[in-house]
A and B are shown apart, each in its own frame.
Chain A
Amino acid sequence: MPDDFPHASTPPTVRVERADVVVVGGGGAGLSAALAAAESYRAQGRDDALIALVSKVYPMRSHTVAAEGGAAGVVAGGGDSFEAHVEDTLRGGAGLGHEEAVRLVVEQAPRELARLERLGMPWSRTQDGRPAVRRFGGMTNPRTWFAADKTGFHLLHTLFQASLREEAIRRFDEHLVLDLLLAPGDDGRRAVRGVVGHDQHRGEVVVWLASAVILATGGYGRAWGTSTNAGIVTGDGLSMALRAGLPLRDLEMVQVHPTCLPGTGILITEAARGEGGVLVDAAGERYLADYGLGPTTPVGAPHARRMELGPRDQLSQAFWHADRDGRTTPTPDGGVVHLDLRHLGKAVIDERLPLVAGLARRFAGVDPVTELVPVRPATHYTMGGIVTTATGQVLESDGAPVTGLFAAGECASNGLHGANRLGSNSLVETLVIGRITGEAAAEVRPGALGAEGRPSALGAEARPGAHEAEPRPSAGEAAVVEQAQALAARWLGLRGRGTEAPGTLRRELGQVLDAEVGIFRDGDGLARAAAVLDDLARRYEDVRVADTSDVFNTDWVQALELGAMLTVARGVVAAAIQRTESRGAHQRLDHPLTDDVARHSLVTLAEDGVARVRLEPVEQPVEQPVEQRVEQRVEQAVASVSHQGDA
């Protein structure tokens, strides 16, 4: 798409920054990665290492902040096991999960949750002082650690505040990364050389030269009109990967959360149901039993994987049917069902669900202590992402690794979630995979193009701009900087031109995805969506960016974010068309059955900007005997962490 834009007449001046590791994104995964890299360098005795943490917002604004429910990790004492967590996760993944990836996260989860505790995470506690766990949809045992219903908020602030003391982490806040810089490496494979971006404060193009880059840019859920996602969740990292010729996997797997406030899409956490909340239709009936989620459980006695604690996709599908059956209550924002929390009482609601209570009061005008909360589904989490190994190494279309390039968190497809994510598996993923990629990045040795001098460590509070004496760029570096200039020029060339109102394009994008790429899809609807997206992409070539300012040009940033969403959305629809089956979060009314062979969809961008899709069978792992040693280790390891009763 950017090739169609007029190029700026002269190459933009760029500021060159050097780092050992660049982390793109400052949410849970990015901060975990940066902290792990800092610790690794300390262990290596490297006191001159520099980790550039580049974020388009201040890290504590990242969307991790909005996660409510919790983070899954097996604890002892409740008959739970790693095997059960692995099984639950693979079952949720509906054939697209990879056992290796699932096992890795499951086995590392308790360690990372405990590590976070030692960083000061305010986990909610049992009466005897241990981290408490709650039930969560799709999980057979209570294993979700939580901090009231603000788990993501506390997790993000704990990590962010811990990062403030790390001298090796230099933050570049409100710097928007534009593109990846890849070049052929010594071994014939492509290797990452850094990223190019834009400093919103100073209005400058910046090139970060580094031999290791970790993408932690989040998902693409804001592309949908009705979404729980913040405005910043626009698929930036995924679109960068596509433009760099990298494949995206299973983009059509998009999780719709069943309980969100109508209109705003504000999330009402599954924890509200885990604590005993029930869903009722317009007549006050608990309708879920009529749509395959029964048998009905008693009010206030939630049961794993049944009724209100069934898998999210089944709850969303039940809503869709109930809506069609005329059992929802009409509102200007569509039909709604109601979440009933009243029987929990004020004390439980205030202690366990304070955020939900506040959101309901402020944004829906109802008090959950005495009133029903109107809810309906909204797009929530995107399972699709940049193809990586279980440990976050980014892969090319042919399966070869891209040297030095990693991806962690929602932007990555590492095989953990498969065709559908279980609630509370993603926060722990940001910790586990963030840490693994951070450690791996700190092991990457500078390639042939490496800087001739090491960057000096600056304190986290150091403002960018104090240009240290920079080493002269080598010939290889000069080529990378030139590549960066050309890429940046395309984006800068968007300013001060165009006639298509970006707000209109964004709204039409959201509407068509809501209508045709939601809980249920079919071939006709997807074809309509593809046609609309083609039209939007054509109009986007003439997108209007009226603001010509170099600094804080949010008009321009929003146009770039819109472009990223459009690019990824075309991939989503192309993959959804090709997947002529129903599996996990992808349910086709015209193809209701699940294929015998589970296949991944892989999307790449062709020269003409159109998404190409290829379906590839999931590699079946060789049957492995259960390792007794691992079992024993778990029993010992988790002995100090107990679980709370099933109440």
Chain B
Amino acid sequence: MTEQKTLRVTVTRQEPGQEPRDETFEVPYSDKTSVLDTLDWIKETVEPSLTYRWSCRSGICGSCGVMVNGRPVLGCETAVAGYRTSGITVGPMAHAEVQRDLAVDTDTFLAKLRSVSPWMIPEPSEPSTSDVPALDVLAVHSQLPGQVEAYHGYLQCIDCMLCYAACPVLDDVAGFTGPAAIATARRWDLDSRDDGNEVRLLALAENEEGLWPCVQIGACTRACPKGVDPARAIKDYQREAMGG
């Protein structure tokens, strides 16, 4: 057997109520090894208490967001081979309270998401899904492929919170509604079946931490692993809120 290559992996760890500390490990790797694989190796062979989230390992569940050398990424789809000389420092996502090691608070994000009413608000004339007799529900909306295309981009958000970790505005305005929630609000606004634009615009525009803290740096859009463009959603809302 040839000698196994190893990578220097520093993990920023933190117990509840304590100060963060860095721990460094030499972790074997190959061309296919992901950041998540290195965390698994550490947990299995050295530090069973290392705490991090993961599930699908294919970039769709949104669980495994971490900072790698200061940049927010999904651990499962980030190969470490590119870091062979620098090594990696893995830390918890920025702008979220650390619960333990790399697991950060998700409830604050979900409260922000909920604040934009991220659900179908039908036209007042439409019966709700629960009120209509069963078979009438089959009267589905018509939606042309082009109309799906209109909100398709914003539809791809996996709630991974990488954009929150990337957003510098959150350094100063922790309550900023933030990129993913606003992008999802936009997803519903641009859906031809939805009639909730005013509700969402009002909720965002009347909250001084809703839209206005954003100064269009675009870090969210660059961080998104799914190609969503939250910066554009925020810009469009800002323009609409100013009557543009």
A interface vs B, CB < 8 Å?
A: 39, 42-43, 57-58, 60-63, 65-66, 110-111, 114-115, 117-120, 122, 124-131, 150, 153-154, 157, 161-162, 164-165, 173, 201, 230-232, 263-264, 266-267, 355, 358-359, 362-363, 460-461, 463, 501, 503, 544-547, 549, 551-555, 633, 636-638, 640-641
B240 smallest CB distance to A (angstroms): 21
Tell me, in angstroms, the Cα distance from A547 to B50 when the chains sit together: 9
CB of A337, distance to nearest CB on chain B (Å): 20
A-B contacts, 6 listed (Cβ < 8 Å)? A39-B130, A118-B141, A118-B193, A231-B57, A461-B114, A463-B107
**Hey, which chain A residues are within 8 Å of B113, CB to CB?**
161, 164
Chain B neighbourhood of A125, CB < 8 A: 143-145, 147-148
CB distance from B173 to the nearest CB of A (A): 20
Q: How far is the CB of A537 from chain B (nearest CB, A)?
A: 20
Q: Name which residue of chain B comes closest to A544, CB basis.
A: B48
C-alpha gap A230/B48 in the complex (Å): 20
Q: Which residue of B lies closest to A554 (CB)?
A: B51
The 7 closest A-B pairs by CB, nearest first: A129-B142, A547-B49, A120-B120, A552-B100, A503-B44, A546-B48, A39-B130
Q: Does B238 reach chain A (CB closer than 8 Å)?
A: no
A118 touches B120 (CB 8 A): yes
The complex places the Cα of A267 from the Cα of B163 at a distance, in Å, of: 27
Docked CA distance A552–B155 (Å): 31
Say whether, besides A43-B130, A637-B135, A362 and B59 are in contact (CB < 8 Å). Answer: yes
- Interface contact A640-B138, CB-CB below 8 Å: yes
Instruction: Write the nearest CB–CB distance from B21 to chain A, whole angstroms.
Output: 15
How close is A280's CB to chain B, nearest CB, in angstroms? Answer: 24
The answer to whether the Cβ of B159 comes within 8 Å of any Cβ in the partner chain is: yes
Q: Once the chains are docked, how many angstroms separate the CA of A63 from the CA of B57?
A: 11
B140 near A120: Cβ-Cβ < 8 Å: no
Render B11-55 as a binary contact track against A, CB cut-off 8 A, 1 for contact.
000011000000000000000100000000001110011011111
Count chain B CB atoms within 10 A of each CB in A118, A130, A264 and give the residue with the most: A118
B63 at the interface (CB under 8 A from A): yes
Q: B77 near A: Cβ within 8 Å?
A: yes
- A491 to chain B: closest CB distance in Å? 17
Give A511 to B11 CA distance when docked, in angstroms.
30
B215 to chain A, nearest CB (A): 28
Q: Given that A130-B142, A230-B61, A638-B138 are known contacts, is A61 also in contact with B148, CB under 8 Å in the complex?
A: no
Write the B93-104 contact mask toward A (1 if CB under 8 angstroms, else 0).
Answer: 000000111010
What separation, in Å, do the CA atoms of A267 and B49 have in the docked complex? Answer: 30
Interface residues of B in 64-86 (CB under 8 A from A): 77
Chain B interface extent, by class: 35 or more
User: In whole Å, how far is B37's beta carbon from the nearest beta carbon of chain A?
Assistant: 10
* B56 in contact with A60 (CB, 8 Å): no
What's the Cα separation between A147 and B219 when bound, in Å? Answer: 29
Residues of A within 8 A of B52 (CB): 554
Tell me the smallest distance from the CB of B225 to a CB of chain A, in Å. Answer: 10
In the complex where A43-B130, A461-B110, A463-B107 touch, is A119 in contact with B135 (Cβ < 8 A)? Answer: no
Say whether A546 contacts B49, CB under 8 Å. Answer: yes
Residues of B within 8 A of A161 (CB): 113, 118-119, 184
Select A153's contact among B60, B107, B143, B191, beta carbons within 8 Å. B60
Residues of B within 8 A of A150 (CB): 60
A76 to B10, CA, bound (A): 59
Set B77, B114, B122: member contacting A164, Cβ < 8 A:
B114
B117 contacts the other chain (Cβ, under 8 Å)?
A: yes
Partner pick for A114 among B59, B140, B147, CB 8 A cutoff: B140
For the complex, give the distance between the alpha carbons of A315 and B60 in Å: 26
Residues of A within 8 A of B147 (CB): 125, 129
Give B contacts to A, CB under 8 Å.
15-16, 32, 43-45, 48-49, 51-63, 77, 99-101, 103, 106-107, 110-111, 113-114, 117-120, 122, 129-130, 134-135, 137-145, 147-148, 151-152, 155, 158-159, 184, 188, 191, 193-194
The answer to whether B100 and A551 touch across the interface, beta carbons within 8 angstroms, is yes
A119 with B119: CB separation less than 8 A: yes
Tell which of A58, A363, A552, A640 touches B139, judged by Cβ atoms closer than 8 Å. A640
Contacting pair B56 A264 (CB below 8 A): no
Q: State which of A61, A66, A131, A359 has its C-beta within 8 Å of the C-beta of B140.
A: A131
How far, in whole Å, are A84 and B63 apart by their CA atoms in the complex?
40
A118 touches B59 (CB 8 A): no
Question: With A and B bound together, what is the CA distance between A111 and B117 in angstroms?
Answer: 25
Q: Are B119 and A162 in contact (CB under 8 A)?
A: yes
Question: Complex formed: what's the CA distance from A621 to B108 in Å?
Answer: 52
Residues of chain A lying within 8 A (CB to CB) of residue B110: 58, 164, 461
Known: A120-B119, A125-B143, A165-B119. 18 other contacts (CB 8 A): A63-B55, A63-B61, A66-B60, A111-B137, A118-B193, A119-B129, A122-B191, A124-B145, A125-B148, A129-B145, A130-B140, A131-B140, A165-B114, A173-B106, A230-B56, A230-B61, A555-B48, A640-B140
Nearest residue, chain A, Cβ from B40: A503
Q: From B48, B159, B191, give the contact of A120 (CB < 8 A).
A: B191
Please pick, from B138, B155, B159, the residue contacting A60 in the complex, using a CB distance under 8 A. Answer: B159
| Known contacts A110-B138, A119-B119, A460-B114; A230 and B130 CB within 8 A of each other | no
Contact B120 A66 (CB under 8 A): no
Neighbouring A residues of B43 by C-beta, 8 Å: 554-555
| Bound Cα distance from A60 to B62, whole angstroms | 8
Are B55 and A57 interface neighbours, CB within 8 A? Answer: yes
Instruction: From the candidates B62, B184, B193, name the one contacting A61 in the complex (CB within 8 A).
Output: B62
Q: Please report the C-alpha to C-alpha distance between residue A42 and residue B142 in the assembled complex, in whole angstroms.
A: 28
Nearest B residue (CB) for A57: B55
Q: Which chain A residue lies CB-closest to B110?
A: A461
Measured in the bound complex, the distance between the Cα atoms of B106 and A58 in whole Å is: 9
List, in ascending order, chain A residues with CB within 8 A of B58's CB: 66, 264, 266-267, 359, 363
**In the complex, what residue of chain A is closest to B139 when comparing beta carbons?**
A640
Separation of A553 and B188 alpha carbons in the complex (Å): 37
